[in-house]
Amino acid sequence: DTEVTQTPKHLVMGMTNKKSLKCEQHMGHRAMYWYKQKAKKPPELMFVYSYEKLSINESVPSRFSPECPNSSLLNLHLHALQPEDSALYLCASSQYPANTEAFFGQGTRLTVV
Amino acid sequence: KQEVTQIPAALSVPEGENLVLNCSFTDSAIYNLQWFRQDPGKGLTSLLLIQSSQREQTSGRLNASLDKSSGRSTLYIAASQPGDSATYLCAVSPLQGGSEKLVFGKGTKLTVNP
């Protein structure tokens, strides 16, 4: 099973709302990632968790807060977002943080109104 | 800083044609190169992973090659089908500056016409 599951598939939220995106994998992968993708652009890395610890934060604004409760789960907590944060948010995982194949979920389409 | 370029940006071919997508990268110090497929509004599907020590990988009608010294990779699709229509992205995992990062090209949008 090479599946990364993301929920919800679509999310519409107001600028004062708090919401969370969820990601789950059961491949025993020890690295998990959040990417942001705007229309007609390649994915941009946001965060990397290696062995359940945050290893990379690509200078992402604090209104995005990642969390890795265990080795299978990755959350992205959202608060006070701006309309320009509307994008496709992709979760990915790989067996190890480096030099292994990355598997992506189907993404959450986020719209901030 | 590693940069990845994909040419062409868009390609339209008739069904049944063999085609080649190109990917180039500026720094040959990479762990691996990965090709992905993305359907509109969907996530990325991994197609092929080539380690830096390898020259090519094959999966079904797909063949990917890697020439690390020249900073080039190609994805060959044989006997194209309308279902192959999607955006194809290549990404490299750099040796330096954080190997956890994938550096993506902007993709090639492929349309296969019936």
pLDDT 10s digits, A61-90? 999 999 999 999 999 999 999 999 999 999
Q: Kindly state the average pLDDT of the residues A17-34.
A: 95
**How many CB atoms neighbour CB B91 within 10 A?**
24
Pairing of strands B86-94, B10-14: unpaired
pLDDT of A96 higher than 90: no
Extract the tokens encoding B59.
Answer: 């999966």
Q: Which of B21, B9, B23 is nearest to B84 (CA)?
A: B21
Q: Hey, is B102 helix, strand or coil?
A: coil
Determine, for residues B44 and A90 on separate chains, whether the beta-carbon distance falls below 8 Å: yes
Q: Considering only CB atoms, which chain A residues are within 8 Å of B42? A: 106-107
Q: Please give the pLDDT value at position B64.
A: 98
B40 touches chain A (CB under 8 A): no
B73 touches chain A (CB under 8 A): no
Q: Please give the pLDDT value at position B98.
A: 59
Instruction: Decide if B61 contacts B78 (C-beta within 8 A).
Output: yes
Q: Kindly state the average pLDDT of the residues A41-59.
A: 94
Q: Give the list of residues 6+ apart from residue B113 with CB closer than 8 angstroms, or none.
A: B12, B13, B14, B15, B82
pLDDT of B22 higher than 70: yes
pLDDT tens sequence across B66-106: 999 999 999 999 999 999 999 999 999 988 765 678 999 99
